Amino acid sequence: MDHPLAGTVPLVANPIRLSGSPVTYRTPPPTLGQHTAEVLAQWLGTASAP
């Protein structure tokens, strides 16, 4: 999968196979710490830092 910062990155395939609805990958994996501020803000009930 193409990643905007890391170039092409390999992914592990989804083990669930459904013939009527094949698996699609819409977004690349997050970078390390990419969502940390958002998750902590949600857990702590504070405003998220930009």
What is the pLDDT averaged over residues 18-29?
85
Percentage of residues in the chain with pLDDT exceeding 90? 18
Residues 6 or more apart whose CB falls under 8 angstroms from that of 38 comprise: 48
pLDDT value of position 24: 84
pLDDT tens track for 31-49: 899 999 889 888 988 875 5
Nearest to 40 by CA among 29, 49, 27, 30: 49
SS3 47: coil
Q: Which two tokens stand for residue 29?
A: 């994996």
> Mean pLDDT, the chain, as a whole number?
86
CA distances from 24 to 1, 4, 12, 35 (A): 11, 18, 12, 22
The whole model's pTM is what?
0.53
Helices (H) and strands (E) in the chain, counts: 1, 2
